[in-house]
Structure 1
């Protein structure tokens, strides 16, 4: 079933990370390989299938700030570490969970963030910026009103003050600009075609050393019923 329709049917105010990334993947946005599991045994099996290292995350549409609540375990390299991490997460979280997300560990020193918002004055607006721990300090972001084409998406990239970091950088290949453009356009189209979506937040969108990109975390907020 469509994750957006499922969320609406369940009267959720947001999509979980797993639901959000399923929806993004459906419109062609690259996301992490991941599996939603319900037990430590399933987590170990999923980690073996995905390949180490992996990340474990608590998954719930009510859980919007996972890192602040200590429910993310990074760089797990063995079955024992996965099992212990699963148990620790379950002990910390008291709200209902959709499950535990077992996710590939994506390497990359360069991080972007992509967002979408809606308002009565500007309509659907797409944001691109540099993400990661320095995002709030650098504050390097650009905006465009959707819909727009590849030329305008490229303009967004060029308008970033830090855009030289997207070229070949310290032995890493240049970022796949075409994939970034497709992601920006797809986010805008999703906001235009789905009235129920109020906001989209992809952060981080990691650029791997080979230049490919993947959405490592994502959140989709739904419109309040009284605003539809």
Structure 2
């Protein structure tokens, strides 16, 4: 992510309550604690996310409680800077069998799969095309100050989409990529959860790729 200047929340991986408390001083407070484990894909569904922890002691105690509740399923945790309040979006990518890399933007957070409000493109794209993707979404009004809320930094979201497109286009071994959620605030857009699945690529013949673009 950092190699492509994709803005992500500062995070530290930890494996115990004492290290979690120390990490809180590194990333800054308030902090977020997220459980890590091979089977913990939807962490919030099982109580694997704690928000708004305001002291290192609270972070350490949250780790202990989370580890007790989740048991062996929790192999560690991530301590992360708490993002500001904003609109939760998702930016993703997939290596499609026919089209090659595809990028996606849509409504993020826990409603992603339920509402399936998404737009797709074949990269590379520019910011104008990213803006058109966002305009296709039913949730787009949320980004522009819906019902008196402050308008989000849509330009920052567009830039994130463009950069994810470049990443997917450059790295064919990425089979799937999810940034969910990307919190879009009046001051920027930051990904607070990132998942990547790698697989050996079978690149399309270059003439076919050129036709798609």
Residues 50-199 of structure 1 aligned to structure 2 (within 5 Å): 50-60=27-37, 63-91=40-68, 92-94=70-72, 97=75, 99-199=76-176
Match of 1:219 among 188, 195, 198: 195
CA contact (8 A) 1:173 1:211 kept: no
The whole-number CA distance in structure 2 between the counterparts of 1:129 and 1:211 is: 20
CA contact (8 A) 2:86 2:152 kept: no
CA contact (8 A) 2:130 2:158 kept: yes
Q: CA deviation at 1:206?
A: 0.9
What's the TM-score, normalizing by structure 1? 0.77
Give the SS at the match of 1:107.
Answer: coil
Q: How many equivalent residue pairs? A: 202
Cα deviation code 1:90-117 (max 9, x no counterpart): 33242583x4211122232411111111
Structure 1 unaligned runs (5+)? 1-23
Structure 2 unaligned runs (5+)? 204-213
Give the SS at the match of 2:110.
Answer: coil
The whole-number CA distance in structure 1 between the counterparts of 2:101 and 2:119 is: 14
Give the SS at the match of 2:52.
Answer: strand
Is the deviation greater in 63-72 or in 194-203?
Answer: 63-72
Q: CA deviation at 1:72?
A: 2.0
Q: CA deviation at 1:153?
A: 1.1
Match of 2:208?
Answer: none
What's the TM-score, normalizing by structure 2? 0.82
Q: What value does the CA root-mean-square deviation take over the aligned residues? A: 2.4
The whole-number CA distance in structure 2 between the counterparts of 1:226 and 1:214 is: 28
Match of 1:42?
Answer: 19
Give the SS at the match of 2:155.
Answer: helix
When residues 196 and 136 of structure 1 are mapped into structure 2, their CA distance, relative to the original with a 3 A threshold, is closer
Give the SS at the match of 1:29.
Answer: coil
Is the deviation greater in 56-65 or in 122-131?
Answer: 56-65
Q: CA deviation at 1:36?
A: 1.8
